[in-house]
Amino acid sequence: MSDTPFRLHHVQYGRSFRVLWLIEEIGLEATLGVPLEVIRYQIGSKEMATGGLAKVSPATRIPALEIGDLVMSESGAITEYLVETYAPRLGVAIGQAGRTDYLQWIHYSETMASLIEQLNLQMVFLRPPAKASPIVIKLNVARLRHTLAGMEARLEGRDWLLDQGFSAADIMMGFNLFAAPYYVNLEQFPNLIAYKARIEAMASYQRCVAREGEQTFYAQDFYPVPEE
């Protein structure tokens, strides 16, 4: 399979980080016998609209993955496919105990990510005179905090989201736990802090971060809710 196209359309530390980390965890480059080509974009750049992304992503958004003739977008769908095809140990098959929990936490990650996306838009992208609404930001921060509280409760007495151990549900949280601390102080969530540390200690995660390099998206360490 050395001639098989293998490409990830990617934004640094965006949702496509999930796919990049999963590829590292699976060792998919070795399995396919071809190195991964990472096509990088800057959020809001002309290349996202005028380049080749629209051909592989109906919404012209990342991630999009190409493996030979296979083209997929949406990080959750890509994650489920890669797990089912190459790494069933990271998932829970239909009919197995824990399947509903697996699906629940795979998709819970998107509930959280949608709030992070809104905060990124309001706090990082918008500039005067297009000022963000403090009320809307306050609501989204509160909602993000509630989703983190739900994870905090889930992780009580657990190392990972599923009873079986580390899974793709945890990988789906990689982008979230990188970005959420820019908007919510995690000190109130000790289980999440320990969980985040376990993730960051994983060799596959560290390889992914090394591949990403220093983040260039956030200009400050924390973004407080602006005064009204």
pLDDT of the residue at 85: 97
pLDDT of the residue at 127: 67
Q: For the chain, which residues make up each domain, given as ranges? A: 6-90, 99-201
The span from the CA of 158 to the CA of 165, in Å, is 9
pLDDT of the residue at 49: 77
- In tens, the pLDDT along 46-80 reads 778 777 888 899 988 899 999 999 999 999 999 99
Share of the chain residues as helix, strand and coil, in percent rounded to the nearest 5 = 55, 10, 35
Which tokens in the block code for residue 98? 């824990």
pLDDT of 130 strictly over 80: no
- In tens, the pLDDT along 8-33 reads 999 999 999 999 999 999 999 999 99
Which tokens in the block code for residue 40? 């990088």
Residue 191: CA atoms inside 13 Å, Cβ hemisphere, count? 14
Q: What is the architecture of the domain spanning 6-90? A: 3-Layer(aba) Sandwich (3.40)
Q: Is the pTM here over 0.75, yes or no?
A: yes
Which tokens in the block code for residue 55? 């051909």
Phi and psi dihedrals of 39, rounded to 5? -95, 110
Query: Residue for token digits 């739900």?
Result: 150
What's the mean per-residue pLDDT of the chain?
93
Query: Residue for token digits 């990403």?
Result: 212
The span from the CA of 37 to the CA of 124, in Å, is 28
CATH of domain 99-201: 1.20.1050.10
pLDDT of the residue at 125: 82
pLDDT of 1 strictly over 50: no
pLDDT of the residue at 128: 65
The span from the CA of 39 to the CA of 44, in Å, is 15
Burial of 91 (0-12, 13-18, 19+ CB in 10 A): buried
Phi and psi dihedrals of 183, rounded to 5? -125, -25
- In tens, the pLDDT along 168-219 reads 999 999 889 999 999 999 999 999 999 999 999 999 999 999 999 999 989 9
